[in-house]
Amino acid sequence: MLEVPGLKYICDYISAAEQCQLLDTIDRQVWSTELKRRVQHYGYKYNYQKRSVESSLYLGDLPDWLLSIAKQLYTDKLTESLPDQVIINEYEPGQGIAAHIDCVPCFGETIISLSLGSVCVMDFTHSQTKQKIPILLLPGSLLILQKQARYEWQHGIALRKKDKYKGKEFVRTRRISLTFRKVLGITARNEVQLL
């Protein structure tokens, strides 16, 4: 884990009961089918084509059930600013996400991903050296990307139905992740003033 500088992993950040409740709440919301995997955007809509977030894409404050987690992350000093944007990703077995670095001009220094549902392996690949480090993500865990892990290493999830990690096989089921970010340059307050 410590092999990727700037990467932190926290097990059991939320309890099994909280995970169930959160999944239930997520499944009562509307999913977008604009990508192969289903997504939900909160706070600001991320434009996948333009790789940008604009003030016109402000969706409103985070709903209470996400704001309470965002506040917890902030009070636990896991991030330097209160997250105001969340993307929820759903991965059915076989689905994944291409290796990428989260938009640098769009989002702040800390990206936090909360995992629910299936266990899965996320691969970190150094942009220059191509060194690859797999990380096992368990439900209820947090993955915190800062410094090199945020800016110099790509992260992605292979399109697979099972993962191998340290000699063990993990069959994937449905996984949901919530990524918490701080949008740069635009604030909710500016947005309100514009209205």
Q: Footprint of ligand AKG on this chain (CB under 6 A)?
A: 87, 89, 97, 102, 113, 155, 177, 179
Residue 80 CB, nearest approach to Fe ion (Å): 18
Residue 122 touching Fe ion (CB under 5 A): no
Q: Which does 177 bind (CB under 5 to 8 A by kind): Fe ion, ligand AKG, none?
A: ligand AKG
Residue 194 CB, nearest approach to ligand AKG (Å): 27
Residue 155 token pair? 């992260």
Residue 102 touching Fe ion (CB under 5 A): yes
Comparing CA positions, the residue from 94, 95, 74 lying closest to residue 84 is: 74
Return d(Cα 190, Cα 192) in angstroms, integer: 5
Return d(Cα 174, Cα 90) in angstroms, integer: 7
Residue 125 token pair? 């690949």
CB 114 within 8 A of CB 177: yes
Return d(Cα 102, Cα 79) in angstroms, integer: 16
What is the CA angle 58-113-189, rounded to 5? 25
Site string for Fe ion, 45-84 (x = CB under 5 A): ----------------------------------------
Residue 90 touching Fe ion (CB under 5 A): no
Q: Which does 113 bind (CB under 5 to 8 A by kind): Fe ion, ligand AKG, none?
A: ligand AKG
Nearer to Fe ion among residue 90 and residue 102 (C-beta): 102
Q: Which residues sit at the interface with Fe ion, rule CB under 5 A?
A: 102
